[in-house]
Chain A
Amino acid sequence: MESSSLSRIYLETLSSADLVSLADEYGIDVPAGLNRRFIIGEILEMMEDTDRFLSEKEPIETQAGFPAEQFLPKSYNETRITVLLRNPAWAFAYWDLKESDTTVFAEDRLFVSFVLRVAFFAAPDVEKTVDYYDITVENDDRERYVYLSRSEYAFSINLIAKFRNLEAQTLARSRKIVIPKGYPDMRSFPGEEYAPLLRLSGMAELKSSHFRNHRQSF
């Protein structure tokens, strides 16, 4: 992120004409009316691929003057998992592990891996899961985007340690989150008829834009 920021600063000193020339040099087609920020974004993206820009244009600096103590901790030394809704079909899970837990598992020959268990519930206040699936994560992973089943009422995610020939151990449980209902079924809406007020409200356009933006995610 830092090196990208520094090259962005350099690009922001260039005139628009120089930016367009540079974009041209990289073979980027700049449509008329594209603003500076987008041109800079395109160039940076291209640079990520070619990885030659920084070495030619300016020396690499590091950390932009942050005092060392301002780095944020990698861990709060606690074992827990938190889940947030990103949209009705995707959640963001992040977790932390106590240092002692990490050490114990690393040294345990029977330890296989950490797993996220995405468990679904059919109703509020029901503890029994109706379905679940597991995602194996790397030992040093600390976050993951998780897909949700739209047919269930709620979900939670457990952080689990899996062992060879032993029962899995649940290390942390997230809170139970209700899955929002009401967004369109992407398979059924084209050609749907709407009551006049919903048609005037833009229901068809809304569902079309949802289909465009979310057909692969929902």
Chain B
Amino acid sequence: MSKNSLIITIEAHSPYIRHTDRQYRPQMSKLFSAISETYLPLLRMFSDLESDGIPFRLGMAFSPVLCAMLSDPLIQDEYVQWLDDLAELGQKEVKRYESGSSIQNLARGYLKSVEKNRLDFTETYGKNILSKFNYYAVKGNVELLAGAATHCYLPLYTDLPEAVNAQIEAGLISHRTYFETIPDGFWLPEMGYQNGLEQTLKSYGLSYTILNVHGLLFADPVPEAGIFSPVRCGNGFSVFGRDVSSALEVYGTPDSCIYNSVYRNQDRDIGYDSPMDYISGFLGDKNRRIATGFKYWARGVRSDDRKRRPCLYDKAEAVSQAQQDARDFLDGKEKKLAEASRFIKDGHASVVCAFPAELFGQQWYEGIEWLETVLRETAERENIECSLCSAVLGGKMLLEKVTPFFSSSGANGYSEELLDNSNDWMIRYARKAVERMIDLTERFPNDTGLKERALNLGARELLLALADDWPRMVHDHMYDDYAAQRFRESIFAFTTVYDSLGSNFISTEWLTSVEKEHPLFPWLNYRIFSRKK
């Protein structure tokens, strides 16, 4: 009997934020932290596994805007500058503490990490970390899923098929630009599914997607195998159901393993705790505090201390706990899959554990250790293996036919967070701009020169306005002022193009300045918004 399959899939995405102005350091810091704490450590882990001959396999979905940012020379240089500023801060930190003290050892370790990140980023990967992920994709270790161009939440646009087509088409071109694999799978932003999306995805040659658990368990009919086998829609497009219990086991509830008291407290950072004059050189112009990665405290408090002071972080203890948590996680999956396989007709059970990339390293410092242990341990076990969605589909002769249910991975499972009182003012402008863009493609089907340049810019700004990052950030109060401004700017830029084409006048100076500010998808052709004939 074949081994049951554990399918780990990681989604990597950041909003399209690109500035050199220091005032935007807080907004840029999210991407820089992701490179330092997630993407570079993931590549090091892959490299270690490869050196040790571990046959690891997992799925990854890099959003096209993230790919664009990671390959943007301006952002690459800004990241190196960030690392240099961080190294300067780290040197101050090492001097700040008593020589040989535990806290100084931690500071020294973090400084070394910063230096290693700089060396790896600039020398080892030549600032192009995507090419190394591509290497593991070509080798078959990583299955890359394609994604929507600007992480647009598609259920809000299913009645505007041109918008959905444009997101998928630009996403696929982006994939071809950065990677040498042909994607079978498509990552729906926020796992947002509404009936009919499978038709469009299949029409682009895509084979499967992953939906949140209720997309399958509330499907019509409810699949007999639950989430332990993929299903197919009426048109043959396949769907996997995400195992939410895996996610909750790891993160998302107060009892999740990432909150173990020995793990590093990600909320205690010198960026948040130090006096302003000490830290201000590292912050942006408005001195909004941001994380630096210099974190010395564990989540737990000292049990012998009536003042409940925090424990100093002990990396060895935390790593050991992460390895134990990984083994416990695997034991649970192995047992559950074994039990499930007893009831499945072909005797093979699979489970999809989908995680956001930021979980590993950013939300959970020890997350990379945990993941590495999961991949190593699985390779040694007899009844379970790490697999890929495409491999599981390839081994299934018959899939149950269902109509999946409207669903997303949002907190309440639908569109509530992207359409509420804080952000619902955005949708009317975004959808109106889509209608106008479709109209432009009909009015100017074959235009070239300056008009084509303006139309391409309009399409690019429209794609940016469709990103779900802006309503998400407004809802989450995560730089909500900035997100609202970015949305307005993109709609304004699109409207300027629309009005200019009507009046037959456009400022080339303005056009050039916006093109320079957002050099996203330089290959973009506005005709992706055309009605399909």
Contacts and interface: CB of A to CB of B under 8 A. Distances in A.
User: A and B, one complex?
Assistant: yes
Interface of A: 1-2, 5-6, 8-9, 12-17, 32-33, 35-37, 40-41, 44, 64, 66, 69-72, 76, 82, 84-88, 92, 94, 96, 143, 175, 178, 180-184, 195-198, 200-203, 205-206, 210, 213-214
B241 A16 contact: no
B224 to A, nearest CB: 7
A197 B489 contact: no
A205 B252 CA distance: 15
Interface in B429-449: 429, 431-432
B245 A9 contact: no
27 contacts: A1-B480, A8-B477, A9-B481, A13-B286, A15-B272, A15-B276, A16-B272, A36-B289, A37-B476, A70-B492, A72-B491, A82-B428, A82-B431, A84-B156, A87-B414, A143-B428, A198-B217, A200-B226, A200-B228, A200-B336, A200-B339, A201-B217, A201-B228, A202-B227, A202-B243, A202-B245, A210-B214
B484 A1 contact: yes
A181 B288 contact: no
Nearest to B222: A198
A13 B406 contact: no
Given A32-B301, A86-B416, A196-B343, 7 more contacts: A35-B267, A64-B485, A72-B429, A92-B419, A143-B424, A180-B406, A197-B340
Contacts, number: 159
Given A15-B275, A37-B478, A66-B488, A197 B226 contact: yes
Interface in B252-272: 259, 265-268, 272
A170 B491 CA distance: 31
Looking at B155, B217, B427, which has the most chain A CB atoms within 10 Å of its CB? B217
Interface centre among B216, B243, B343 (most CB of A within 10 A): B343
A143 B425 CA distance: 9
B301, B412, B414 — which one has the most chain A CB atoms within 10 A of its CB? B414
B453 interface: no
Contacts of A86: 414-416, 419
B33 interface: no
A85 B196 CA distance: 14
Interface of B: 26, 155-156, 159, 194-195, 213-214, 216-220, 222, 224-228, 241, 243-245, 259, 265-268, 272-276, 286-289, 299, 301, 308, 336, 339-340, 342-344, 405-406, 412-416, 419, 424, 427-429, 431-432, 476-478, 480-481, 484-485, 488-489, 491-492
Contacts of B217: 198, 201-203, 206
Contacts of B414: 85-88
A94 B273 CA distance: 45
Nearest to B435: A76
Contacts of A71: 488
Contacts of B155: 85
A32 to B, nearest CB: 7
A94 B92 CA distance: 55
A31 to B, nearest CB: 10
A200 B241 CA distance: 13
Contacts of A175: 159
Contacts of A182: 218-220, 222, 405
6 A-B pairs with least C-beta separation: A201-B226, A5-B481, A87-B414, A182-B218, A12-B288, A180-B406
B343 A85 contact: no
A210 B217 CA distance: 12
Contact of B419 (A15, A36, A84, A205): A84
B238 to A, nearest CB: 17
Contacts of B413: 87, 210, 213
Given A200-B339, A202-B213, A66 B272 contact: no
Contact of B218 (A16, A94, A183, A196): A183
Contacts of B336: 200
Contact of B286 (A9, A41, A94, A181): A9
Contacts of A76: 432
Contact of B273 (A15, A180, A205): A15
A1 B265 CA distance: 32
A70 B427 contact: no
B479 to A, nearest CB: 9
A121 B82 CA distance: 58
A43 B267 CA distance: 17
A208 to B, nearest CB: 12
B90 to A, nearest CB: 19
Contacts of B339: 196, 200
B481 A14 contact: no
Contact of B272 (A36, A87, A92, A196): A36
A39 to B, nearest CB: 10
Contacts of B477: 8, 37, 40-41, 44
B400 to A, nearest CB: 11
A197 B416 contact: no
B461 to A, nearest CB: 13
B299 A33 contact: yes
Nearest to B288: A12
Contacts of A202: 213, 217, 227, 243-245
Contacts of A69: 492
The residue in A40, A196, A206 that gathers the most chain B C-beta atoms within 10 A of its C-beta is: A206
Given A86-B416, A143-B424, A183 B267 contact: no
